[in-house]
Chain A
């Protein structure tokens, strides 16, 4: 008999903390190794924590709703034998996806951010420094004594915020901080206060992450925009013709979106410049074409990835879209499903939107919004015709891309979509 600790697992690269959404066991329960013991919501994904040992749950330390850093204790387990210890305690670790290694470098490990040394705590107390707002230069994002001494000597001290606005403001300012890497420039704008009758919604979980990523993207990436109008009359005709039969034989819908994803994947193959990442002193052009697609669910937004989209048929893409959407709706997306995206295609048309300016999915180079297909009068050969029109709106990282290459890319996608009809398209 031995008492072992189960800690918050690392559920993906750049994931530093997780929130226990629910416990699946209680003290006294017997669990086998690899049995799920708790559900955890992290920045990227909802996941189950497997037990590292076979034994009896002795004490649950972390409460539901509590957010813990990776590696922090969540419960004690009494193992039945001393033999099956350790070895697998890190089974929940998920390998870093090679495509995102660069993101790893930029985001960097923040696991030590909240580990304060005695010197740091003393200096923070003596000078009334709010450590949440300090960017650490030490290993794992640790705030070093030197970091504080620098802040103190320059006199730009981020002080503790007013207690009323505390919990919400710190996390938001922390986001701004970690993005700008300038501890001194803390926004001094007053925090909005709520009136009687207003509803205050704490910013947590996925909402917090969306906020963080959007701020990061919009502050770091100089966005530029382009829109092309595509005539997809033939594609609509073709798809309408086969959709019923497809549904019957395959069991899921053949959406327009699958055709757009296919056209974009081919376009990226031809213009790999758009399939890249800004890495400070260099641009990394990705070999794999992994398309992130946005899937909305209630208050949440997930961005699962269709890997190697260029190698898949329209049917294969349609099936994967269907699967990923299902998983998102049932909270089954894994960290692996969400990693490795190199370009995002966003189906804004599903909301009826005809024009939008997407925020790039950091650290990608561009995002393409596929708008609603609308029947409109169009002049062809000096005659009015009723055509199915769609806008493709591209947001681009102007550090990496310029109008010329993006224009060529959009023209290519436009052309391939306009040429999709019964004779040219292979669904299978």
Chain B
């Protein structure tokens, strides 16, 4: 099995899906000739041509709107938002149109679009290039939000997203692009959307997280293992709708739950996970459900010290894990 970076896994998934299905096409800013600002679509323009890899104007609502229209007519568009922060002008298209159309048309129409967007901080990107936006979309039935944490998951889940008959937001952590490498099978495989994945077995504390934080949590867990504390780590993978069964099972396993995200704490994905646990696991809980998240300030600052203060890292997670283990 070849070892790939996270972004190579994304590119591979796109290429394989475009080869497999002619209806799959890409649109976004600089995705064509340039191959994307992060190079996620590199080589696809040359391989599939300008009609399947479209460079669009700087207009996110148009990217989403064109994609939604094409999807409703039977195409399989993969729209790219250059940064998740820029998705805001397209929110109306995504929520009011893409997420609603199946329900609104009584199942006559559907909208199989994928919207990819790099999210997250830790890259000195400052306010408009560091945000996590998943929570904005995480109470919109009709949408699915996928946030893979490994190259393997990225490929399998992106393929699943493209083949899904409903709109999927696919958030890739931009720091993970070249930071994370892993074995990715060359053959075609699809991972189920809506299923969380146990990334590490343990019996002392349960960590539930997603995206790049899974990687950080795994690093912290290795440090705790040196002291005999075994962490159970559940990767949500799909943050909307949540895999309730897996969350409940993981929470019950140890009764001590730490939820981690780099998004702002209030009203984050974690809040919903915590609610699911408290609704279902009261008599298995051995400690208050803990949330470790970014502070409730508008966005990640540019100054390196302040960015570090905001950004999640393995040390912060390790500290919170130890606190909980000792409780």
Chain A interfacial positions (CB closer than 8 Å to B): 117-122, 138-139, 142, 144-146
* Given A120-B286, A142-B327, A145-B284; 12 other pairs, CB 8 A cutoff: A117-B255, A117-B286, A119-B284, A119-B286, A121-B283, A122-B283, A139-B327, A144-B327, A145-B254, A145-B256, A145-B286, A146-B203
User: Chain A nearest CB: distance from B203 CB in Å?
Assistant: 8
Is B204 a contact of A117 with CB atoms below 8 Å? Answer: no
Of chain A, the residue at the smallest CB distance from B282 is A118
User: Chain A nearest CB: distance from B55 CB in Å?
Assistant: 56
Which chain B residues numbered 285 to 300 have a C-beta less than 8 Å away from chain A?
Answer: 285-287
Which chain B residues numbered 250 to 292 have a C-beta less than 8 Å away from chain A?
Answer: 254-256, 282-287
Of chain B, the residue at the smallest CB distance from A148 is B286
User: Chain B nearest CB: distance from A133 CB in Å?
Assistant: 19
- For residue B227, CB closer than 8 A to chain A, the reply is no
Q: Which residues of A contact B203 (CB under 8 A)?
A: 146
Is A144 a contact of B283 with CB atoms below 8 Å? Answer: no
Is A119 a contact of B327 with CB atoms below 8 Å? Answer: no
Q: Which residues of B contact A120 (CB under 8 A)?
A: 286
8 closest cross-chain pairs (CB), A and B: A145-B286, A122-B283, A119-B286, A117-B286, A119-B255, A145-B255, A118-B283, A118-B282
User: Chain B nearest CB: distance from A391 CB in Å?
Assistant: 50
A120 to B254, CA, bound (A): 12
Q: Which residues of A contact B285 (CB under 8 A)?
A: 117-119
Of chain B, the residue at the smallest CB distance from A117 is B286
Of chain A, the residue at the smallest CB distance from B287 is A117
Q: Which residues of B contact A144 (CB under 8 A)?
A: 286, 327
Is B326 a contact of A139 with CB atoms below 8 Å? Answer: yes
Chain B interfacial positions (CB closer than 8 Å to A): 203-204, 254-256, 282-287, 326-327
Q: What are 9 A-B interface contacts by the 8 Å CB criterion?
A: A117-B286, A117-B287, A119-B286, A121-B283, A122-B284, A144-B286, A145-B254, A145-B284, A146-B204
Q: Which residues of A contact B287 (CB under 8 A)?
A: 117
Of chain A, the residue at the smallest CB distance from B203 is A146
Q: Which residue of A119, A138, A139, A144 has the most chain B CB atoms within 10 A of its CB atom?
A: A119
User: Chain B nearest CB: distance from A122 CB in Å?
Assistant: 4
User: Chain A nearest CB: distance from B288 CB in Å?
Assistant: 9
A117 to B287, CA, bound (A): 7
Q: Which residues of A contact B204 (CB under 8 A)?
A: 146
Q: Which residues of B contact A146 (CB under 8 A)?
A: 203-204, 286
Of chain B, the residue at the smallest CB distance from A146 is B204
User: Chain A nearest CB: distance from B274 CB in Å?
Assistant: 15
A146 to B254, CA, bound (A): 8
Q: Which residues of B contact A145 (CB under 8 A)?
A: 254-256, 284, 286
Q: Which residues of A contact B326 (CB under 8 A)?
A: 138-139
Is A118 a contact of B327 with CB atoms below 8 Å? Answer: no
Is B327 a contact of A138 with CB atoms below 8 Å? Answer: yes
A122 to B284, CA, bound (A): 8
User: Chain B nearest CB: distance from A294 CB in Å?
Assistant: 38
A118 to B281, CA, bound (A): 9
User: Chain A nearest CB: distance from B67 CB in Å?
Assistant: 47
A121 to B254, CA, bound (A): 15
Q: Which residues of A contact B255 (CB under 8 A)?
A: 117, 119, 145
User: Chain B nearest CB: distance from A152 CB in Å?
Assistant: 14
Of chain A, the residue at the smallest CB distance from B288 is A117
User: Chain A nearest CB: distance from B88 CB in Å?
Assistant: 42
Q: Which residues of B contact A119 (CB under 8 A)?
A: 255, 283-286
A142 to B287, CA, bound (A): 10
Of chain A, the residue at the smallest CB distance from B326 is A139
Q: Which residues of A contact B327 (CB under 8 A)?
A: 138-139, 142, 144
Q: Which residues of A contact B286 (CB under 8 A)?
A: 117-120, 144-146
A187 to B254, CA, bound (A): 31
Of chain A, the residue at the smallest CB distance from B204 is A146
A121 to B203, CA, bound (A): 19
A121 to B255, CA, bound (A): 13
User: Chain A nearest CB: distance from B316 CB in Å?
Assistant: 20
A25 to B204, CA, bound (A): 48
A138 to B324, CA, bound (A): 10
Q: Which residues of B contact A139 (CB under 8 A)?
A: 326-327
Of chain B, the residue at the smallest CB distance from A122 is B283
A197 to B103, CA, bound (A): 83
User: Chain B nearest CB: distance from A137 CB in Å?
Assistant: 9
Q: Which residues of A contact B256 (CB under 8 A)?
A: 145
A118 to B287, CA, bound (A): 9
A142 to B288, CA, bound (A): 13
A138 to B283, CA, bound (A): 18
Q: Which residues of A contact B283 (CB under 8 A)?
A: 118-119, 121-122
A119 to B285, CA, bound (A): 5
A146 to B286, CA, bound (A): 9
A358 to B283, CA, bound (A): 49
A139 to B288, CA, bound (A): 13
User: Chain B nearest CB: distance from A151 CB in Å?
Assistant: 14
A119 to B255, CA, bound (A): 7
A138 to B204, CA, bound (A): 12
Of chain A, the residue at the smallest CB distance from B283 is A122
A144 to B286, CA, bound (A): 7
A117 to B285, CA, bound (A): 7
A150 to B254, CA, bound (A): 13
User: Chain A nearest CB: distance from B108 CB in Å?
Assistant: 48
Q: Which residues of B contact A122 (CB under 8 A)?
A: 283-284
User: Chain B nearest CB: distance from A309 CB in Å?
Assistant: 40
Q: Which residues of B contact A117 (CB under 8 A)?
A: 255, 285-287
A145 to B255, CA, bound (A): 7
Q: Which residues of B contact A142 (CB under 8 A)?
A: 327
User: Chain B nearest CB: distance from A85 CB in Å?
Assistant: 26
User: Chain B nearest CB: distance from A125 CB in Å?
Assistant: 10
Q: Which residues of B contact A118 (CB under 8 A)?
A: 282-286
A117 to B254, CA, bound (A): 13
A2 to B43, CA, bound (A): 70
A144 to B284, CA, bound (A): 11
